[in-house]
Amino acid sequence: MPSIQINNANIYYEDSAPDDQQKPVMVFAHGLLWSSRMYDKQVAHFQDDYRCIAFDFRGQGQSQITKSGYDMDALTEDTLGLLTALNINKCHFVGLSMGGFIAQRIALKRPELLLSLIMLETSADPEDPELVPQYRKLMTAIRWVGMKRVSKKVMPIMFGTSFLEDKSRKAEKREWLGMLQGNRKSGVTKATLALIERKGTYEQLGDITTPTLIIVGDEDAATPYEKSERIHFSIPGSKLAVIKGAGHTSTVEEPEQVNAVISKFLESCV
């Protein structure tokens, strides 16, 4: 699959229909510590009717690790640069967690690019000061002992108990644990630092006029329901959906529920 040079970084992306100019476009932005892989089930579901583009943020997945450019505004510029390079003038933008931070910034900065805004397991606030020391400890641990040694402690942050305790999904859990362990130390620590130092967008959310759907797993410990509700109440006309039995990575944990909710929402955007 291709990669493209955007703002001095080699950005990896996947495009389900690069030569199709007729299909509406869906763009998928992933969460911290993951990659475009977290949307495999969504791309498989929507690609018959939509041109699906999923990409990896710099320093994560298969994109280049650079010395700088990891703050949320810089990642927003990377994303806008990718849309420009691929000649995307309008799209449905899907962002989970960190991808949701970027989605909000695009909606505020370049609303004309968006047909709709779909955000999962995200927040509009700066990082909770009480959690920052934990993130800094995580970064230190990753630097010194690597991702593999801390990955099992991270899994309960990323996934809900229903997924983690389901014996029939052991193979899936091993697969995602392996992906977590495959993160490159330098890229992950830079991305994590940018995440904990981010500024909030909450005060600006009332300016968003794009049709918006907010999705949250009912077992999400990282960004619990209250954070999604707070966004919902601030964006005029937005819709809020709760995914049962899902944690912070509902696209993986409960893909059928997520796909159904998104499909229904997209029908209302036509």
**Beta bridge pairs of residue 98:** none
Q: Structural domains in the chain? A: 3-269 (3.40.50.1820)
E strand map for the chain: 3-6, 9-15, 25-29, 51-55, 91-96, 114-120, 212-217, 239-243
d(CA 153, CA 146): 13
pLDDT at 130: 82
| Tokens standing for residue 193 | 């630092």
Do β-strands 51-55 and 9-15 pair in parallel, antiparallel, or remain unpaired?
Answer: antiparallel
Closest to 250 (Cα-Cα) out of 211, 213, 212, 219 = 219
3-state secondary structure of 27: strand
Closest listed residue to residue 212, CA positions, set 86, 124, 82: 124
What is the residue-averaged pLDDT of the chain? 95
- Beta pairing class for 51-55 and 114-120: unpaired
pLDDT in tens, the chain (270 residues): 699 999 999 999 999 999 999 999 999 999 999 999 999 999 999 999 999 999 999 999 999 999 999 999 999 999 999 999 999 999 999 999 999 999 999 999 999 999 999 999 999 999 888 878 877 887 787 887 778 888 888 999 999 999 999 999 999 999 999 999 999 989 988 999 999 999 999 999 999 999 999 999 999 999 999 999 999 999 999 999 999 999 999 999 999 999 999 999 999 987
Report how far Cα 246 is from the mean position of its chain's Cα atoms: 15
Total residue length of the chain: 270
61/97 Cα distance (integer angstroms): 16
Report the C-alpha gap between 13 and 54 in whole angstroms.
6
> Model-level pTM?
0.96
